[in-house]
């Protein structure tokens, strides 16, 4: 497929068995990790929530699973678990119980809802704090319902101090 996505990583195909740009994913994850490290100098890492939509969500999932830094939460919108055949072998303990909200539209033509469900099943095996939200009638986009779920998640995960 060769959809060049220089902001995150190259999409080589849109099927679970398509080759993946592991180098590009890890480079983006390293960038996100450096931002987390910088933020953690001034606020506790347990108050840092990372997340993203589509490719950004894939980077956030991968980063949370492979990070030694305990995070406050993970938001994953219309996304998938990248390197799904490898990542389970390199998961770190720090975020195995990080509060996680995953939302996915049930008519998403870009990242099929079935990928979201498969991702949710794998993440739930690792993390009892994982919550999946099915968005009825939503394509590869956001929705008011998703933003409300996000708001509630953040209030619950990052209570006032």
Catalytic pick from 21, 78, 108, 157? 108
Catalytic pick from 28, 29, 54, 67? 54
108 is catalytic: yes
140 is catalytic: yes
- The per-residue DSSP string of 69-121 comes to SPPSEEEEES---TTTTTGGGS--STTTT--EEEEEETT-SSS-HHHHHHHHH
54 is catalytic: yes
List strands edge to edge, sheet with 130-135: 49-53, 73-77, 100-105, 130-135
Count of CB atoms situated within 10 Å of the CB of 9: 23
Catalytic pick from 45, 84, 106, 140? 140
Give the three-state DSSP class for 51.
strand
Measured over the CA atoms of residue 44, residue 46, residue 48 and residue 50, the dihedral's sign is positive
In angstroms, the CA 42 to CA 100 distance is 23
Tokens of 146: 């998703």
Catalytic residues: 54, 108, 140
């Amino acid at each position: 497929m060769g959809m060049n996505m220089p902001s995150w990583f190259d999409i080589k195909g849109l099927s679970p068995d398509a080759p993946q740009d592991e180098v590009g994913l890890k480079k983006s994850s390293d960038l996100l990790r450096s931002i987390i490290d910088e933020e953690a100098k001034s606020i506790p890492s347990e108050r840092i929530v990372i997340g993203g939509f589509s490719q950004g969500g894939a980077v956030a999932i991968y980063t949370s699973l492979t990070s030694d830094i305990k995070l406050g939460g993970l938001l994953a919108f219309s996304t998938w678990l990248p390197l799904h055949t490898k990542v389970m072998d390199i998961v770190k303990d720090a975020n195995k119980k990080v509060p996680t909200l995953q939302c996915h539209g049930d008519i998403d033509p870009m990242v099929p809802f079935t990928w979201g469900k498969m991702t949710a099943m794998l993440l739930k095996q690792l993390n009892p704090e994982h919550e999946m939200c099915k968005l009825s009638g939503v394509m590869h986009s956001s929705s008011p319902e998703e933003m409300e779920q996000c708001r509630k998640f953040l209030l619950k995960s990052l209570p006032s101090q």
